Amino acid sequence: MHVEEKLTAETFPAEPERATLEGKNKFLGFWFFLGGETVLFASLFATFIALRDKTAGGPTSEELFQMPVVFVATMLLLTSSLTSVYAIHHMKNFDFKKMQLWFGITVLLGLAFLGLEIFEFYEYVHEGLKYSTSAFSSAFYTLVGLHGSHVAFGLSWILTLMIRNAKRGLNLYNAPKFYLASLYWHFIDVVWVFIFTVVYLMGMVG
């Protein structure tokens, strides 16, 4: 199928993200990138695991971490992962408006998550955990901060796609773009699952 083909719900392909050569290439390339991201985050997780007890007299994770904040953040991000699944579901049904709506909800949930994280970092700095306080603090802010910047990037990516294509509607040119943005968003949630487990929950156990 061709990128510029005018489509209706009847002629829209079942897998619009891979119906064109460009879409197929993007799909492969993006998964390759996610494999690389896995390695990048692993190196930061490894550093954090090695240094998590080296607090150099500064605050420890047991003193800092609050279960309710982490729990709410986890629920927000997990739910936003489901809402972007809904968006892609409507994309496959060729329902552009519903896709935009669910991506919009995803963005709102992501913003709430990001706000919570900024508030959390602000609290930690006030309790004396600065970036250079200890090996633990540097490893913590680098790992969780890089995840937060992924959230910020993912939000601007989805928003840009939504605004840029608002009047264009759905076609085989932008379907792969929306699809990959949602993959990226799920990957952010994958990383968060390990962050809340390894950094927060293990930090509270000691």
Q: What is the DSSP letter of 1?
A: -
Residue number with CB closer to another protein (36 or 128): 36
Q: Where are the alpha helices (DSSP H) in the chain?
A: 21-51, 61-64, 67-92, 96-126, 135-164, 175-194, 202-205
Cα–Cα distances (Å) from 41 to 102, 104, 143, 152, 194, in that order, read: 28, 27, 7, 16, 10
Instruction: Determine if 57 is a binding residue for another protein (CB under 8 A).
Output: no
Q: Is 117 in the site for another protein (CB under 8 A)?
A: no
Q: Does 157 bind another protein (CB under 8 A)?
A: no
Chosen residue from 4, 6, 10, 126 binding another protein by CB under 8 A: 10
DSSP state of 197: I
Q: How far apart are CB 96 and another protein at their closest, in Å?
A: 15
**Identity of residue 66:** Q
Contact between 23 and 42 under an 8 Å Cβ cutoff? The reply is no
Sole binder of another protein in the list 69, 82, 101, 108 (CB under 8 A): 82
Q: Which stretch binds another protein (CB under 8 A): 43-51, 125-133, 154-162, 165-173?
A: 43-51
Residues forming contacts to another protein in the complex (CB under 8 A) are 9-11, 14-15, 18, 27-28, 31-32, 34-39, 41-43, 45-47, 49-51, 67, 71, 74-75, 78, 81-82, 85-86, 89, 92-93, 183, 186-187, 189-190, 193-194, 196-198, 201-202, 204-206
